[in-house]
A = this chain, B = another copy of it.
Amino acid sequence: MQRYQLLTQNEIERIHENSLRIMENVGILLMHGPARDILAKAGARVDGEMVYFPKALVEKSLKNVPPSFTFHALDPEKSVEITTETTAFVGPYGAPNVVDLDKGRRPSTLEDFINIVKICDTLNNVDIQSHISCEPNDIDVDIRHNVMVHNTLKYSDKPLMGTCYGYEYSRQSIEMAAIAFGEGMDTIKRKPVIASIPCTLTPLGYDDKMAGCIMAYAEYGQPQLVNSLSMAGMTTPVTLVGLVSLQNAEVLAGIVLAQCVNPGCPIVYSASGSNADMSSAMLAIGTPEDALVSLMNGQLAKYYNIPCRISGALSDSKMMDSQAAYESAITLMMAQMAGGNFILHSVGIIDTYNSVSFEKLVIDNEIIGYVKRIGRGVVVNDDTLAYDVIKEVGPQNEFLTHEHTYNHFRTEFYRPTLSNRDVFDNWRAKGSLPIEKVANAKWKSILAEFDKTVLSPETDADLKKYVEGHRLNAKG
């Protein structure tokens, strides 16, 4: 697929060099002793909690990152190749609320979580399940991570994500996936089945939880999206190029750590940067600046030849309205233009990451359909140039009944799953429905019809037992 080249090769290199300079001279605060020890052994300079990365260590680590891997699903037909050239669309992550047309916004529960898993399992354009699709606020925090992993495995056979909350919880996510896949923890090391997204503490830090996560997923050979979420003008310089330089330094530091733990472990370069709304000093997403940062992140990841995560359908709107739609369409389109390989938040996110909208899940799924059709592009050959067809039909005639039309229209044209193309009178006769109401009916019918059993009763019981037997203190 073609990509949009925002930066020249020289500009990419200047940002890369800027990041290396930051890593070597400004350093990264790493609140995890064993992680610092590993990096010190590998050649980093450690001073208290600060770690300074020499250029050679960074470049050597980057060379160890595989450019692709297979992300296995419980249904092998749903396994996804994560490469620098493919695009996988992934569910929403991290919202503490859900919202729908009927009940409005409320703190989300396990029932909401399961419903989102079911909807994402059904939506044709979602390839990978997220982890915290929404927070199951009614579940004890001590077991919440494991309950989410269990229920994702129970209701979906697409690849999934697990927790990034510290070494031990992360190991547990992996162990639960291994149980579901019927694999031991030793063999799972060579089979990516669960991904995580450890995040930096911007600017220029990692707390112990995230560093622990990086180490666990690296140790067990599971994919991780080493991630920085940055806010221009608040946690990074106001200039987007400065933001990208800083977050690149952070992400590269995490990648170096993972590769020192287990050289060759699968990594997805991950960054999401946006701007502060300067009137409130609050994060804004779904902005043009967000899209520009995505384009730069994508180019940097291609420069490193590492698959990259880009954010998808983002919006600051509080409800599923036109603002949510145009912000999501632009950020999704740019995510693909950026060459994003793992598009997190492809569906559902609204209200600056604070809610998942049920209607938006199915509306974003439709937007992805448009975006994918554009990404597929066109084929130029004698058949598509259709000179003979044009000559045969000639001026002032129609092409509808020509065999060429019949042979091509199914592949040439995207077929909407939701969008209305009726003539006005038909649309009015059917109730003059805005698409939000059509989407409302659609997610309800998905849930009403969902009757899939993914796990055997024995495996389901084993996972349930595992969750009950692993009540960790949430702080640890």
Contacts and interface: CB of A to CB of B under 8 A. Distances in A.
Interface of A: 2, 4-7, 11, 14-15, 18, 21-22, 25-29, 50, 105, 201, 203-205, 232-242, 245-246, 275-282, 284, 287-289, 291-292, 296, 316-330, 333-334, 337, 351-352, 354, 363, 366-367, 369-371, 373-374, 377-380, 383-387, 389-391, 393-400, 402, 404-405, 408-409, 412-414, 418-424, 427-428, 432, 434-436, 439
Each complex incorporates copies of this chain amounting to 2
Given A18-B387, A287-B414, 7 more contacts: A2-B5, A4-B4, A25-B391, A27-B395, A203-B393, A238-B413, A333-B333
A138 to B, nearest CB: 20
A435 B317 contact: yes
B317 A419 contact: yes
A239 B26 contact: no
A288 B2 contact: no
A419 B327 contact: yes
Contact of A235 (B26, B29, B398): B398
B321 A322 contact: yes
B203 A395 contact: yes
A421 B325 contact: no
A371 B18 CA distance: 28
Contacts of A234: 398-400
Contact of A399 (B236, B389, B432): B236
A6 to B, nearest CB: 6
Contacts of A351: 424
A244 to B, nearest CB: 9
Contacts of A329: 325-327, 329-330, 333
A237 B327 CA distance: 34
A154 B234 CA distance: 47
A26 B394 contact: yes
Contacts of A278: 409, 413
B326 A390 contact: no
Contacts of A390: 22, 26, 203-204, 236-237, 242, 245-246
A325 to B, nearest CB: 4
A451 to B, nearest CB: 29
Contacts of A374: 288, 291-292, 330, 334
A326 B328 contact: yes
Contact of A237 (B320, B399, B428): B399
Name, among A287, A288, A383, the residue most crowded by chain B CB atoms within 10 Å (CB to CB).
A288
A443 B50 CA distance: 55
B321 A434 contact: yes
A207 to B, nearest CB: 10
A100 B404 CA distance: 41
B245 A387 contact: yes
A395 B201 CA distance: 9
Contacts of A325: 321-326, 329
A399 to B, nearest CB: 6
A235 B405 CA distance: 11
B316 A26 contact: no
Nearest to A428: B318
Given A289-B373, A329-B330, A319 B434 contact: yes
9 contacts: A25-B391, A26-B391, A203-B393, A233-B400, A233-B409, A275-B413, A326-B329, A329-B333, A333-B333
B405 A237 contact: yes
A394 to B, nearest CB: 6
B282 A242 contact: no
A115 to B, nearest CB: 20
Contacts of A233: 399-400, 405, 409, 412-413
Contact of A435 (B5, B239, B322, B394): B322
A378 B6 contact: yes
Contacts of A413: 232-233, 238, 275, 278, 287, 289
